[in-house]
Chains A and B, each alone.
Chain A
Amino acid sequence: MRTITIDPVTRLEGHGKIEIFLNDEGEVSNVYFQVPELRGFEKFCEGRPVEELPAIVAKICGVCPGCHHMASGKAVDVVFGVEPPPTAKKLRELFYMAHFIHSHTAHFYALAGPDFIVGPYAPASKRNILGVIEKVGKEIGTEVIRQRRHAQEIQALLGGHQTFVVMNIPGGVRRGLSRQERDDIVVKAKGFVEFAQFTLKIFEDFVLKNNEYVDIILNGPYSLRLHSMGLVDANNKVNFYEGKVRVVDTVGKELYKYAPHEYLDYVAEHVEPWSYLKFPFLKKIGWKGFVEGQNSGVYQATPLSRLNAADGMATPLAQKEYERMYSTLGGKPVHATLAMHWARLVELLYSAERCLELAMDREITGRELRAQLGPIPGEGVGIVEAQRGTLTHHYWTDKKGIVTKVNLIVGTTNNHAAICMSIKKAAEGLIKKGVVVSEGILNMIEMAFRAYDPCFSCATHCLPGQMPIIVDIRNAGGELQQRLKRD
């Protein structure tokens, strides 16, 4: 038995580790993706006044704090039994669109771009953001930084703090928008729409027009037949901020559609002794292990699964791209893991169009920012789509609004089992009897989990533009047989 350990830089409640076990024939016997850290937010939020939670839980993740802040703000509204006034709701969603634009842009250009624009077989030294800029041109690189900065400026304006938003207060928001500020956002949002269309064009030119890449997307060892989860509006269109959670099965048929407060009937979590992170699954099907197919309880909550779970996009340009994606990839649902990158760009366009819609909305500069609060019913669930999956926050309080219990099911957590399975498939596809493990495995395995944009990938890639990886291959006695290094 040989073991391959991949310890990448990770950012999901800490770090992450991949262990690949090979059998005596040199074929993959099993793969484990371990999350070795726990902080215990669900416990230490107990005893805090519930209005403090949106700021406290934002610290779950410094990469996507806005998602936790929003899910929390919504859960707190329900704890107080109120709905924010329309202006407050729209301001939150406007902030949230900027959060998506910022995150999806960074992911495509800094993380996915090296794989597709530069190419999966390009030398490691070129597979980074600088390589992307070299290939698409420096002006485009500058434009990416500019658009990302605009999205960050909108977040800082509406959210208060540059990283850790302080926007939400029970029943509303702490700050309104002046007309002048609104006008500035409209200009920026128009830029986002153009930029998102441009990005889709880049995807078309560099990826879709390259048969080799399309072949990797469609036929590489990256397909997983799992159920798809995503938030939808009343017309079953993709929504990030509010709606019902819809789950479609492996052939695209609706399995469930539930309101946030019903989540406990549909989602449950499994515990394994080898990871601090739990494994969510569909409760009505049950935990059947790390298996694919219609009878599996494992689901995915990713940009692609959001599109699979919905009937379309709520904005016109994104809808066209949605249709184009599915017609190119052979209809719904799509299970090719790498198509997540395309789905993410369709979402980028939706976020941009929605950002513009909200900025132009007459109510966005309204002065009514908070609802009247009454007695505290004391329990609330808030669900949003985080960039990395459906995010659920559930709080219980006493009559004074002091937290008694908290339950959280976090974006990337949804995909814990699926990520394990994708890595296994990629490893199986590459490591065959008699085949010497080469640097190829580094790219292939990396690509398998990078597609999920798991939270830890951001910090990994931003600076060096690629993930330095080391693979150790050991014999049964634990002695190092071979080391592959890419840094």
Chain B
Amino acid sequence: MDGSTPKLKLAVYWASACGGCCVSVLDVHEKLFDVIAAADFVFWPIALDIKYRDVENMPENHIDVTLFNGAVRNSENEHMALLLRKKSRILVACGSCSHLGGIPGLANFSTKEEILRRIYEENESTINPEKVRPLPECKVKEGTLTLPVFYNDVRSLSQVVDVDYYIPGCPPQTERLLEVFDTIISGAELPLKGSVIGADTKAQCDECTRKITENKRIRKFYRPWEIEDDGVTCFMEQGVICLGPATRAGCGYRCIKGNAPCRGCYGPPPGVTDPGSKMMSAIAGIIEEKEPEEISRVLEDVVDPSGLFYRFSLPVSLIRRKLP
């Protein structure tokens, strides 16, 4: 970029996340330095108080692009989502947690009360006769200490604020992230608002290298340890549930290369709104049995279907959460 063009202002923030998205960015060092040369990181997850104040002091739309990773789990995450929306021209939900709720979203199978009780009271190694729990505001001898409020529900970013684009993946594959950076930096025309970027438009199965047999039908489902995986045949055809049919391609089918079935971190492909419904139709299409009783016998082998089909997407799914 020449000196006459102002450098692009980028921001990165993580909310309820594990750090894997950042590790994915850092995995291609040299390329990252190109990004830094072309763009200013005006906000990187640093000193929190200051971060808040500095960001709060920015004019609206001051940041060109914010990559937001992590789900919205507590009041601090929510505050930052609202703030960054206001200050960013383009807000990108980056990674499964921000895009779909992700693994932390599985917490929507429980309530806040059940989680806190389990961790701080019932837990086998915890000694806490007075049932102390972390408090949003706590008086200590020397003054007052504060903590964010832990919410009942985990939400994806778009359930809290308006989102411009989504980059899927747990974590997003490094190469795909760099493609997105390149596009943004080059000033090329951006896709329609609301698009999924940094991924393909097909389903995993369309790109998977495992072998499929036309019209193959099965009579029983197995858990991964109940069979000897041959390493080459489609998992579904071996009777092991694989989320490939309900998952967008673009990850380079990393897990499948490691002989593990897909668990859906890239989210549903275009045209599929709910991975659970899509998986039910994929299952219905592959089983031999056609009588309702036989079908339900086969389906009994599928353990924890909601935890499996919505492994990365419970908060944005049709069921959203377990009702109390």
Question: Which residues does A use to contact B, with CB under 8 Å?
Answer: 1, 3, 5-9, 11, 14-15, 17, 19, 21, 29-30, 32, 34, 36-40, 42-49, 51-52, 55-56, 59-63, 65, 80, 145, 152, 159-167, 169-171, 174-175, 263-264, 267-276, 278, 280, 283, 287, 370, 373, 394, 400-402, 405, 407, 409, 455-456, 458-459, 462-464, 467-470, 472, 485, 487
Give Cα A463 to B304, complex, Å.
40
Quick one: which of A6, A9, A61, A274 contacts B145, CB cutoff 8 A?
A274
Do A38 and B141 touch (CB < 8 A)?
Answer: no
| Residue B61 at the chain A interface, CB threshold 8 Å | no
As a 0/1 sequence over residues 16 to 36 of chain B, the CB contacts with chain A under 8 angstroms (1 = contact) are: 111111111011010010000
Q: A44-B106, A51-B224, A56-B106 are in contact. List 16 more A-B contacts (CB 8 A).
A: A1-B142, A8-B47, A36-B74, A36-B148, A37-B73, A37-B148, A52-B308, A59-B18, A59-B170, A62-B171, A166-B255, A268-B126, A268-B127, A273-B133, A373-B225, A464-B44
Do B119 and A40 touch (CB < 8 A)?
Answer: yes
As a 0/1 sequence over residues 114 to 134 of chain B, the CB contacts with chain A under 8 angstroms (1 = contact) are: 110011100111111000111
Give Cα A458 to B170, complex, Å.
19
Do A34 and B304 touch (CB < 8 A)?
Answer: no
Residue of B nearest to A401 (CB): B223
From B2-10, B257-265, B274-282, B288-296, give the one contacting chain A: B257-265
Give Cα A267 to B126, complex, Å.
9
Give Cα A465 to B231, complex, Å.
42
| Residue B37 at the chain A interface, CB threshold 8 Å | no
Do B104 and A39 touch (CB < 8 A)?
Answer: yes
Do B255 and A468 touch (CB < 8 A)?
Answer: no
Quick one: which of A42, A267, A458 contacts B123, CB cutoff 8 A?
A42
| Residue B138 at the chain A interface, CB threshold 8 Å | yes
Q: Which residues of the other chain, B, contact A152 by a CB distance below 8 angstroms?
A: 27
Contacts A264-B125, A270-B127 known; A402 to B303 CB distance under 8 Å? yes
Quick one: which of B24, B74, B127, B308 contacts A37, CB cutoff 8 A?
B74
3 A-B pairs with the lowest CB-CB distances in the bound complex, closest first = A160-B258, A62-B20, A7-B48
Do B147 and A30 touch (CB < 8 A)?
Answer: no
Q: Which residues of the other chain, A, contact B229 by a CB distance below 8 angstroms?
A: 174
Quick one: which of A34, A175, A485 contacts B147, CB cutoff 8 A?
A34
As a 0/1 sequence over residues 94 to 123 of chain B, the CB contacts with chain A under 8 angstroms (1 = contact) are: 000000001110110110001100111001
Q: Which residues of the other chain, A, contact B106 by a CB distance below 8 angstroms?
A: 44-45, 48, 56
Q: Which residues of the other chain, A, contact B46 by a CB distance below 8 angstroms?
A: 8-9, 467-468, 487
Contacts A7-B48, A42-B119 known; A47 to B150 CB distance under 8 Å? no
Quick one: which of B19, B47, B148, B303 contacts A62, CB cutoff 8 A?
B19
Q: Which residues of the other chain, B, contact A472 by a CB distance below 8 angstroms?
A: 49
Do B110 and A44 touch (CB < 8 A)?
Answer: yes
Do B140 and A30 touch (CB < 8 A)?
Answer: yes
Give Cα A161 to B251, complex, Å.
10
Contacts A8-B47, A145-B29 known; A49 to B223 CB distance under 8 Å? yes
In the complex, which range does the number of interface residues on chain B fall in? 35 or more
| Residue B210 at the chain A interface, CB threshold 8 Å | no
Question: Which residues does B use to contact A, with CB under 8 Å?
Answer: 16-24, 26-27, 29, 32, 44-51, 73-74, 76, 102-104, 106-107, 109-110, 114-115, 118-120, 123-128, 132-135, 138, 140-143, 145, 147-148, 150, 170-171, 173-174, 223-225, 229, 231, 254-255, 257-260, 263, 303-304, 307-308, 311
B151 CB to nearest A CB, Å:
11
B283 CB to nearest A CB, Å:
17
Give Cα A42 to B173, complex, Å.
28
Give Cα A140 to B303, complex, Å.
52
Quick one: which of A1, A17, A273 contacts B48, CB cutoff 8 A?
A17
Q: Which residues of the other chain, A, contact B16 by a CB distance below 8 angstroms?
A: 14, 37, 39
Residue of B nearest to A168 (CB): B260
Quick one: which of A7, A45, A160, A170 contacts B225, CB cutoff 8 A?
A170
Residue of A nearest to B135 (CB): A273
Q: Which residues of the other chain, B, contact A47 by a CB distance below 8 angstroms?
A: 109, 304, 307
B22 CB to nearest A CB, Å:
5
Residue of A nearest to B128 (CB): A271
Do B150 and A38 touch (CB < 8 A)?
Answer: yes
A480 CB to nearest B CB, Å:
10
Do B44 and A56 touch (CB < 8 A)?
Answer: no
B3 CB to nearest A CB, Å:
23
B33 CB to nearest A CB, Å:
9
> Can you offer 19 A-B residue contacts whose CB atoms are under 8 A?
A40-B110, A44-B104, A44-B107, A46-B110, A52-B304, A55-B255, A56-B103, A63-B23, A160-B254, A162-B173, A164-B171, A171-B225, A175-B259, A264-B125, A271-B128, A271-B134, A280-B125, A394-B124, A459-B19
Q: Which residues of the other chain, A, contact B174 by a CB distance below 8 angstroms?
A: 162
Residue among A48, A264, A455 with most chain B CB within 10 A: A48
A4 CB to nearest B CB, Å:
11
Do B76 and A7 touch (CB < 8 A)?
Answer: no
A235 CB to nearest B CB, Å:
29
Give Cα A468 to B47, complex, Å.
7
Give Cα A173 to B40, complex, Å.
44
Q: Which residues of the other chain, B, contact A11 by a CB distance below 8 angstroms?
A: 19
Do A49 and B49 touch (CB < 8 A)?
Answer: no
Contacts A36-B148, A49-B304, A275-B147 known; A409 to B47 CB distance under 8 Å? no
Q: Which residues of the other chain, B, contact A14 by a CB distance below 8 angstroms?
A: 16-17
Q: Which residues of the other chain, A, contact B22 by a CB distance below 8 angstroms?
A: 62, 459, 462
Give Cα A40 to B119, complex, Å.
7
Give Cα A60 to B258, complex, Å.
20
A207 CB to nearest B CB, Å:
25
Contacts A43-B118, A271-B128, A275-B134 known; A51 to B49 CB distance under 8 Å? no
Contacts A145-B29, A162-B27, A162-B254 known; A60 to B47 CB distance under 8 Å? no
Residue of B nearest to A277 (CB): B134
Do A470 and B50 touch (CB < 8 A)?
Answer: yes
Quick one: which of A34, A48, A470 contacts B49, CB cutoff 8 A?
A470
Residue of A nearest to B121 (CB): A271
Contacts A9-B46, A40-B115, A174-B259 known; A274 to B307 CB distance under 8 Å? no
Give Cα A170 to B118, complex, Å.
26
Residue among A394, A407, A409 with most chain B CB within 10 A: A407
Quick one: which of A43, A283, A485 contacts B119, CB cutoff 8 A?
A43
Give Cα A283 to B134, complex, Å.
21
Give Cα A145 to B29, complex, Å.
9
Residue of A nearest to B145 (CB): A274
Q: Which residues of the other chain, B, contact A166 by a CB distance below 8 angstroms?
A: 255, 258-260
A181 CB to nearest B CB, Å:
14
A158 CB to nearest B CB, Å:
9
Give Cα A292 to B170, complex, Å.
41
Residue among A7, A30, A273 with most chain B CB within 10 A: A273
Do B107 and A48 touch (CB < 8 A)?
Answer: no
